[in-house]
Amino acid sequence: MYKIAKENLSALFRLIAESSELYLPVKTAGQVNFAAWSEEAEVALDILKSVKSPKDAFFPQSEGLYTVKREGKKMKVEPEELKNKDFVVFGMKACDVKGLEVLDNVFLADPIDTFYAARREHGTVVALACHEPEESCFCKVFGVDAANPAADVAAWMIGEDLYWNALTEKGEALTEKVKALLTDADETAVEAEKEAIHNIVEKLPYMNLSLEGWNGDALSEKFDDKLWEELYKPCLACGTCTFVCPTCQCYDIKDYDTGNSVSRYRCWDSCMYSDFTMMAHGNNRTSQMQRFRQRFMHKLVYYPANNDGMYSCVGCGRCVEKCPASLNIVKVIKAFQKQGGEK
Amino acid sequence: MQELINRAKELLENGTVARVLGWKAGDLPYNPEPAYFESAESLKDFVYNGFCGANLSKYMIEASKLEGKTLVCLKPCDTYSFNQLIKEHRVDREKAYIIGVGCKGKLDIEKIRNQGVKGIESIQGAEITDAADELKIQTIYGEKTVAYADAMLERCHVCKGKEHKIFDEEIGESKETKDGERFDEVSRIEKMSPAEKFAFFQKELSKCIRCNACRNVCPACSCRKCVFDSNKFDSSQKANVDSFEEKMFHIIRAFHVAGRCTDCGECSRVCPQGIPLHLFNRKFIKDIDELYGEYQAGDDTDSKAPLTNYTFEDAEPSIVGKRG
């Protein structure tokens, strides 16, 4: 266990940035999102949740795949380079780290998504424990420990110091690089902080949410339930929940005509959108009820069915905070629970 | 609120309306959701408080297609949107039973959070009947007090007034919340140099994640299929490409709703990145006021709109060059 005084964090960031790209929470025009570090960046480590999750660092909202150019009578295909430089993501939270595990199960399974795999290989995650979890958090429900982020380096902001504990080889390697700025520390303060976090977590309103009945085998029972017809109604069909989510992984592939070439890119898609999974024959989900249902069925039924029971929600609560119609996964789970109770 | 619930029950039971469109209590103190109530019994979950900012006018587009009348609760500012939708033949007046509900300013949970409030357990003072000027917020980290005015949505600080522009009946008192001038911020930006303006909007719009919440919540954005949802369009709805969001999408949208936007403020309320999108619309409203004479979209249902009407006094296109 090491520590570094808060006032020396700028020096730490500068040192990391000398050899790697560095992404961390940065405040721009009043909002905090993960962005590249620079001397001018307004680093905001004291916020709990960035608006967007940090999944962009591994799975960007838009990325080029390849470009096709015309050369005389021939076509030349230029694939986009895979990530080949090391980078560090600093300040992810335990839920966001768990989100990467969800993405890994999708993108690193056969056939491997090479763009994602290259970023995972070159990325090192330094995660911060949640000093003051909030009412919209429910990570514990999905087995996440807000006090112990399972990243390459786990860190705790306590008083005027940041405590630093490498958990993986990548974490050890990063620690070696920045060792000059770190001093040895004992675990007493961190143990007290963990206990304090656990005590707060117990008080949060959503922490005892029950997932009973939600599993990979619940397909027909949940899919056919009449409740969806009621639940989706306030939904505006925007993509906020899917775009702030650390686990939503759907993307679309599109071509952009630049005038003298065609760039093929992919961009996040949202199951809330009318052209989601549009195919030659048309669309297999023609109503907003069906689109709305898809999101929750995917997180709580389909994904567990394909991943040994693991849910693809990590309880970060961003949808709880950001949905313009105040809908969210917690309300969906509770509505089914309530219905079950009344039967 | 009880008066509202009682009246809704009465109208449901005597068959005047088939359903009630209002807000349902959330599971946190600040997250009620728009909801339909079809029975007197279901109205037990009905709420109307400071967090019911959602403008229900747009939901009436779909509700107009349903069997029977829908009782809809509209705040004074929401009624402008409803009128505008009537003008555009997007809602059916005969399908709506409008209760104009009183309003004392709607709250913005982000503004509360920005004052360092976290771990919210309960909020007192947000009820429509509460006379207090402050919110008492119980949190896991202790009790906090926030002035009601400091927690209000931007639009409430420049409130268009307490009058319901259309209603079948009114329930509840409204309170004056205006403490600023609607066009002040636009005037401030107008005074910037082109480079400063560009930098200001680029910084704001670079946060855009193309979630389309602004478009989907907008009562003026009522096209059955949006041009940006066409899969034949290169820069379609969801690709987040900085230059497009920064330079095109929001400006195209503002142009499309120009002269029809009532300045209801929903775009800015729902933006997950806190982009002050209303500024574009307000700039157009200000320009229309100056070029064609004062006009408030949604003030009525039958006047001719400046951009769809021709008079000899209209500004010539050369005005663009003159104004710079």
CB B257 within 8 A of CB B192: no
Q: Is residue B133 part of a domain?
A: no
Shortest CA gap A178–chain B (Å): 32
Q: Which of residues 142-201 of B touch A (CB under 8 A)?
A: none
One domain, residues B201 and B89: no
The one-character DSSP state at A329 is: H
One domain, residues B190 and B312: yes
Q: Give mean pLDDT, residues A301-308.
A: 97
Unique residue bearing structure tokens 């747009």: B58
Domain final position from B171, B196, B212: B171
Q: Which of residues 64-123 of B touch A (CB under 8 A)?
A: 109, 118-121
pLDDT at B237: 58
Cβ neighbours of A41 in B, within 8 Å: none
Q: Give mean pLDDT, residues B131-135.
A: 88
β-bridge mates for residue B1, sequence order? none
| pLDDT confidence band for B245 (50 / 70 / 90) | low
One domain, residues B236 and B317: yes
The SS3 call for residue B22 is: strand
pLDDT of B230 higher than 90: no
Contact flag A29-B204 (C-beta cutoff 8 Å): yes
Q: Is residue B199 part of a domain?
A: yes
The ipTM estimated for the assembled molecules is 0.94
| pLDDT confidence band for A282 (50 / 70 / 90) | confident
Contact flag A135-B206 (C-beta cutoff 8 Å): no
User: C-alpha B233: how far from its chain's center?
Assistant: 28
One domain, residues B22 and B165: yes
Residue among B20, B30, B31 with most chain A CBs within 10 A, to mutate:
B31
Q: Is residue B103 part of a domain?
A: yes
CB within 8 A of B219, min separation 6: which ones?
Answer: B55, B57, B58, B81, B82, B84, B85, B262, B264, B266
| Sign of the torsion formed by the C-alpha atoms of A335, A339, B1 and B3 | positive
Q: What is the pLDDT of residues A123-156, one digit of tens each?
A: 999 999 999 999 999 999 999 999 999 999 999 9
One domain, residues B90 and B8: yes
Q: Per the structure block, which two tokens stand in for A33?
A: 């999102």
Q: Give mean pLDDT, residues A53-81.
A: 94
Q: Per the structure block, which two tokens stand in for B57?
A: 């006018």
CB B277 within 8 A of CB B266: no
Unique residue bearing structure tokens 């849910």: A311
Contact flag A273-B238 (C-beta cutoff 8 Å): yes
Give strand ranges (E) for chain B: 19-24, 33-37, 46-47, 70-74, 96-101, 120-124, 134-139, 142-147, 169-171
pLDDT of A342 higher than 60: no
Shortest CA gap B311–chain A (Å): 38
Q: Measured between CB atoms, which of B140, B211, B235 is closest to A243?
A: B211
Unique residue bearing structure tokens 């003072």: B125
B28 interfacial to chain A (CB closer than 8 Å): yes
The one-character DSSP state at A58 is: T
Residue among A135, A207, A326, A331 with most chain B CBs within 10 A, to mutate:
A326
One domain, residues B165 and B36: yes
How far apart are the C-alpha atoms of A142 and A337, rounded to whole Å?
17
Q: Measured between CB atoms, which of A62, A233, A239 is closest to B211?
A: A239
One domain, residues B165 and B188: no
How far apart are the C-alpha atoms of B168 and B97, rounded to whole Å?
6
Cβ neighbours of B211 in A, within 8 Å: 238-240, 242-244, 270
**Taking the CA atoms of chain B, what radius of gyration do you get in angstroms?**
21
pLDDT at A276: 87
A36 interfacial to chain B (CB closer than 8 Å): no
CB within 8 A of A223, min separation 6: which ones?
Answer: A293, A297, A301
CB A54 within 8 A of CB B232: no
Residue among B108, B140, B226 with most chain A CBs within 10 A, to mutate:
B140
Backbone angles phi, psi at B80, to 5 degrees: -65, -45
CB A315 within 8 A of CB A138: yes
pLDDT of B226 higher than 70: yes
One domain, residues B48 and B196: no
Q: Give mean pLDDT, residues B54-81.
A: 98
CB A57 within 8 A of CB A37: no
| pLDDT confidence band for A343 (50 / 70 / 90) | very low
CB A58 within 8 A of CB A116: yes
Percent of chain B with pLDDT over 70: 95
Other CB atoms within a 10 A radius of the CB of residue A250 amount to 16
Tell me: cis bond preceding A111? Omega within 30 of 0 counts. Answer: yes
Shortest CA gap B273–chain A (Å): 6
Q: Measured between CB atoms, which of A51, A278, A321 is closest to B231?
A: A278
Q: Tell me how many domains chain B contains.
A: 2
Mean pLDDT of chain A: 95
Shortest CA gap B299–chain A (Å): 26
One domain, residues B8 and B102: yes
The one-letter amino acid at B318: S
Q: Give mean pLDDT, residues A26-37.
A: 97
Q: Of the given ranges (B83-92, B180-189, B248-257), which has the lowest mean pLDDT?
A: B248-257
DSSP A224-274: T-THHHHHTTT----SHHHHH-SS---EEEEEEE-SSEEEEEEEE--TTST
Q: Which of residues 71-130 of A touch B (CB under 8 A)?
A: none
How far apart are the C-alpha atoms of A276 and A283, rounded to whole Å?
8
Give strand ranges (E) for chain A: 2-5, 21-28, 31-36, 62-71, 74-79, 87-92, 123-128, 153-158, 161-166, 183-184, 251-257, 261-268
Query: Domain range spanning residue B230?
Result: 184-323
Q: Measured between CB atoms, which of B35, B213, B225 is closest to A236?
A: B213
Q: Is residue B196 part of a domain?
A: yes
pLDDT at B139: 97
How far apart are the C-alpha atoms of B177 and B180, rounded to whole Å?
9
One domain, residues B167 and B224: no
pLDDT at B31: 97
Cβ neighbours of A327 in B, within 8 Å: 33
Q: Give mean pLDDT, residues A9-29.
A: 97
Q: Measured between CB atoms, which of B59, B119, B231 is closest to A132?
A: B119
How do the domains of chain A map onto residue ranges?
2-203, 219-342
Q: Of the given ranges (A94-98, A109-113, B223-227), which has the lowest mean pLDDT?
A: B223-227
Measured at the alpha carbon of residue B206, what is the angle toward residues B204 and B211, in degrees to the nearest 5? 100
B270 interfacial to chain A (CB closer than 8 Å): yes
Cβ neighbours of B61 in A, within 8 Å: none
Residue of B24, B154, B161, B37 whose CA lies nearest to B103: B161
CB A142 within 8 A of CB A96: no
The secondary structure element, H or E, covering residue B59 is helix B59-63
Q: What is the pLDDT of residues A198-254, one digit of tens each?
A: 999 999 999 989 999 999 999 999 999 999 999 999 999 999 999 999 999 999 988
Contact flag B213-A244 (C-beta cutoff 8 Å): no
Contact flag B240-A320 (C-beta cutoff 8 Å): no
How far apart are the C-alpha atoms of B171 and B158, rounded to whole Å?
23
Name the H helices within B71-176.
76-87, 109-113, 154-157
One domain, residues B8 and B52: yes
Q: How many residues does chain A have?
A: 343
One domain, residues B191 and B89: no
Q: Give mean pLDDT, residues A114-124.
A: 98
| pLDDT confidence band for B313 (50 / 70 / 90) | confident
Percent of chain B with pLDDT over 90: 81
pLDDT at A341: 52
| pLDDT confidence band for B246 (50 / 70 / 90) | low
Nearest chain A Cα to B273, which residue? A31
How far apart are the C-alpha atoms of B198 and B205, rounded to whole Å?
10
pLDDT at B59: 97
Q: Measure Cα distances from B148 to B78, B161, B230, B267 in Å.
A: 21, 18, 43, 22
Q: Which of residues 209-238 of B touch A (CB under 8 A)?
A: 209-213, 215-217, 225, 229, 231, 234-238
Contact flag B272-A269 (C-beta cutoff 8 Å): no
Q: What is the pLDDT of residues B27-58, one digit of tens each?
A: 999 999 999 999 999 999 999 999 999 999 99
Residue among B212, B217, B268 with most chain A CBs within 10 A, to mutate:
B212
Domain final position from B171, B192, B216: B171
DSSP A191-235: HHHHHHHHHHHHH-TTTT---TT-STT-HHHHHT-THHHHHTTT-
pLDDT of A281 higher than 70: yes
Q: Give mean pLDDT, residues B260-278.
A: 97
Contact flag B239-A278 (C-beta cutoff 8 Å): no
